[in-house]
Amino acid sequence: MQPRIKYRAAKSKFAQAVIVFLAFLITLPLIAIIVYIFREGITKINWTFLTHLPKPVGESGGGIVNALIGSILIVIAASVMAVPVGILCGIFLSENRTSRLSYWSRLSVDVLQGVPSIVIGIVVYFWIVKPVGGFSAISGSVALAIMMLPILIRSTEETLKLIPFSLKEAGLALGLPYHKVILKVIVPCGMSGIISGIMLSVARIAGETAPLLFTAFGNPYLNTNLARPMQSLPLLIFNYATSPYDEWHDLAWGAALILLFTVLLLNIITKLTTRKWNVQL
């Protein structure tokens, strides 16, 4: 019996070693990506990089101010559209848990979450770009807003579901109208969860490229008019990274560093705040 038990124990130890090894192997690509992008990008970032337009091919230097401003504007416009709708829909779903409409609505949100981003790009192209007759930043924002919705709705719904029913009853018992109970009692209680949902969804769309290809399109010049084509960081990285020019690669590395750290920072901040406020997402 003894050697058999020894064999089994050894097998167990071996399996554990393999699993731990495989599990921690995943940290390698993340570290490799962060280190590589940091090393390549940090040397390119300086004041000129942040405040100048890209130079034409063949000239070194230049910056990515058009993409920075464009990204910020597109993301803000998308958030302005998506946040109110997302929160209200989250409220609707948490308030009506079993009605038929809420079943279909919840199903639609699930479907929306799985739709490939390129498909949303195509659809918004036919909804806005084609009827208007030109690429525009606002159509890019609409596409990104559609991508934000599922995350926003889910986080709002899950947060509000956790708020004790007695709070709502207390508000109603005091004669408060329904909308005030929701907006002044329930929503403030779930604010931390809602805010982390907003930050997560912003982090998700800040790096999205595919839906912008046929909507915001990109623009080599600085543009702050939402009705015209606009550059954004992910678009710039895609276009410059796949170009054969070294100067453009340099710009793309700097842009990648900025984008990567913004997105990671947003995620880390969300994580820290959710831990501090003890939010379940």
Which residues, 133 to 172, sit near other proteins by CB under 8 A? 146, 149, 153
Which of 178, 221, 245, 277 contacts other proteins by CB under 8 A?
Answer: 178
The yes or no reply on residue 1 touching other proteins (CB under 8 A) is no
The yes or no reply on residue 243 touching other proteins (CB under 8 A) is no
Tokens of 61: 């230097």
The yes or no reply on residue 280 touching other proteins (CB under 8 A) is no
Distance, CA of 280 to CA of 249 (rounded, Å): 41
**What is the end-to-end Cα distance of the chain in Å, rounded?**
49
The yes or no reply on residue 208 touching other proteins (CB under 8 A) is yes
The yes or no reply on residue 117 touching other proteins (CB under 8 A) is yes
Q: What part of residues 214-233 is at the interface with other proteins (CB under 8 A)?
A: 214, 217
The yes or no reply on residue 271 touching other proteins (CB under 8 A) is yes
Residue placing its CB nearer to other proteins in the complex, 77 or 181: 181
The yes or no reply on residue 91 touching other proteins (CB under 8 A) is yes
Taking the mean position of all CA atoms in its chain, how far away is CA 103? 26
Phi-psi region of 62 (alpha: psi -120 to 50; beta: other; left: phi over 0): left
Residue placing its CB nearer to other proteins in the complex, 110 or 169: 110
Report the interhelical angle of 246-277 vs 65-95 (nearest 10°). Answer: 30
* Residue 145 · residue 82 · CB < 8 Å: yes
Q: What part of residues 68-87 is at the interface with other proteins (CB under 8 A)?
A: 85
Which of 242, 245, 277, 280 contacts other proteins by CB under 8 A?
Answer: 242
Q: What part of residues 24-43 is at the interface with other proteins (CB under 8 A)?
A: 24-27, 29-30, 32-33, 36-37
Question: Which among 43-51, 67-75, 94-102, 157-165 is the span making contact with other proteins, rule CB under 8 A?
Answer: 94-102
- Nearest approach, Cβ of residue 128 and other proteins (Å): 11
Longest dimension (CA), the chain: 81
The yes or no reply on residue 67 touching other proteins (CB under 8 A) is no
* Residue 215 · residue 142 · CB < 8 Å: yes
Residue placing its CB nearer to other proteins in the complex, 32 or 76: 32
- Nearest approach, Cβ of residue 89 and other proteins (Å): 5
Nearest in space to 143 (alpha carbons), one of 220, 227, 214: 214
The yes or no reply on residue 237 touching other proteins (CB under 8 A) is yes
* Residue 233 · residue 67 · CB < 8 Å: yes
Residue placing its CB nearer to other proteins in the complex, 31 or 47: 31
Nearest in space to 157 (alpha carbons), one of 104, 206, 102: 102
Q: Which residues contact 196 (CB under 8 A, 6 or more apart)?
A: 155, 270, 273, 274, 279, 281
